[in-house]
């Protein structure tokens, strides 16, 4: 997915999740400059961690109370960034069994079925796939 398509998909998802009503959702996709919408609702960014600020690369969710954001720190060896929004607070998964890597994208199929892809360094760069089953 190109950055432009991902940005458009993210914008549409956030509009839907935040309860924003537009005069025409079809018009939003065809000509965003002509759509009259209520202002966006600002969601607080995930809190800083012990490390430098993380770059978020992907976001997905099943509702406004179930949103996942993933990324990396850019300088290692540090684990991938995986954060979950429950509608009011971000929770960071600091231990995912990976010491050095980054997450590129996430898809939340349901609250108990979330997939993350990225890379891991063991001792060379290899693909990384993580799955959340609602418990671990």
Range of the domain at 87: 44-136
Are residues 68 and 115 located together in one domain of the fold? yes
Q: In which order are the strands placed within the sheet that holds 66-72?
A: 55-63, 66-72, 81-85, 90-92
Are residues 111 and 134 located together in one domain of the fold? yes
What's the mean pLDDT in 43-47? 71
Overall number of domains in the chain: 2
d(CA 91, CA 83): 6
Whether the Cβ atoms of residue 93 and residue 84 lie closer than 8 Å to each other: yes
Residue 14, φ and ψ in degrees, nearest 5: -65, -35
> In which region does residue 41 sit, left (phi positive, over 0), alpha (psi from -120 to 50) or beta (all else)?
beta
List the Cα angle 60/50/40 in 5-degree steps.
Answer: 35
Residues sharing a CB contact under 8 Å with residue 3, sequence separation 6 or more, in sequence order: none
Give the model confidence (pLDDT) of 53-69 as tens digits.
678 899 999 999 999 99
CATH number of residue 78's parent domain = 2.40.128
Q: To which H or E segment does residue 130 belong? A: strand 125-132
Give the model confidence (pLDDT) of 75-119 as tens digits.
667 888 899 999 988 888 876 788 888 899 999 999 999 999 999
pLDDT at 79: 84
Are residues 60 and 75 located together in one domain of the fold? yes
Are residues 56 and 78 located together in one domain of the fold? yes
pLDDT at 121: 86
Q: What pTM does this model have?
A: 0.67
d(CA 101, CA 89): 25
């Amino acid at each position: 997915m190109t950055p432009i398509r991902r940005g458009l998909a993210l914008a549409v998802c956030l509009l839907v999740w935040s309860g924003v009503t537009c005069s025409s959702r079809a018009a939003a996709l065809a000509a965003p400059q002509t759509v009259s919408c209520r202002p966006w609702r600002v969601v607080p960014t995930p809190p800083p961690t012990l490390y430098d600020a993380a770059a978020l690369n992907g976001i997905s969710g099943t509702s406004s109370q179930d949103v996942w954001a993933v990324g990396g720190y850019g300088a290692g060896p540090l684990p991938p960034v995986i954060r979950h929004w429950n509608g009011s607070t971000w929770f960071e998964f600091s231990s995912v069994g990976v010491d050095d890597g980054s997450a590129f994208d996430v898809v939340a199929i349901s609250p108990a079925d979330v997939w993350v892809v990225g890379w891991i360094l063991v001792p060379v760069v290899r693909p990384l796939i993580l799955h959340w089953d609602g418990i671990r």
